[in-house]
Chain A
């Protein structure tokens, strides 16, 4: 299957700082990317959908000013957690797909906010 990478795989930051997570499709052009969040021992919850060149669509309850998503190219989407707080500590997973294709998941990024 296609490969999706995420960087970094883990990050620790201080409260109040911003953290950027990258999601890349390595061998295909991803017109759509999804961002999910998973708290410990819980399920994955969709945060937002981003289409290349368009503004992201956020799910209900997700603050768009706190979780900035940019999908500037067909192979890269970024999620920036602004002014991170301990409650933002979570496992963030992206997925990518091209039209009419299966979606492929990245390996995830574990964020810890101190």
Chain B
């Protein structure tokens, strides 16, 4: 069965600190997709990144970076120089694939609440 685990329930940092959110996944599929979403207090999910299982390159987007390691089934997310506006719940998710297509069905981790204090 597929599963996503975000062991950190809550993280609190002071502004400008770097913070890493952990994500570990389980799947028997050889083709799959991994995602990160941000959910601010308003509730709307904000898409951050999608990675397919064949692309292990790390990615950097501004202050955000992602480290995908198939060997440890992890897809960790780092925010550099955190800001108060980064405070939100962050979800890691796994999507199953059929062939080379993404079915779209998402399995979410439990979420990590990040609080960035000024």
Contact = CB atoms under 8 A, between A and B. Distances in A.
A43 B44 contact: no
Contacts of B104: 32, 34, 49, 95, 97, 103
B108 A44 contact: yes
Interface in A86-109: 91, 93, 95, 97, 100, 102-108
A110 interface: yes
A91 to B, nearest CB: 6
A107 B108 contact: no
A1 interface: yes
- Interface size class on chain B is 10 to 19
B105 A105 contact: no
Interface string B41-73: 011110100100000000000000000000000
A46 interface: yes
Contact of B110 (A32, A43, A91): A43
Interface string B104-115: 111111110000
Given A1-B47, A105-B45, A108-B43, A46 B106 contact: yes
B45 A93 contact: yes
Main secondary structure of the interface of A (DSSP, over half): strand
Contacts of B50: 102
A42 B109 CA distance: 9
Interface in A64-102: 91, 93, 95, 97, 100, 102
Contacts of B42: 107
A96 to B, nearest CB: 9
29 contacts: A1-B47, A34-B104, A34-B105, A34-B106, A42-B110, A42-B111, A43-B91, A43-B110, A44-B45, A44-B91, A44-B106, A44-B108, A45-B108, A46-B105, A46-B106, A93-B43, A95-B106, A97-B104, A100-B101, A100-B102, A102-B47, A102-B50, A103-B104, A103-B106, A104-B47, A107-B42, A107-B43, A108-B44, A110-B43
Interface of B: 37, 42-45, 47, 50, 91, 101-102, 104-111
The 3 A-B residue pairs whose C-beta atoms are closest, nearest first, are: A105-B45, A107-B44, A108-B43
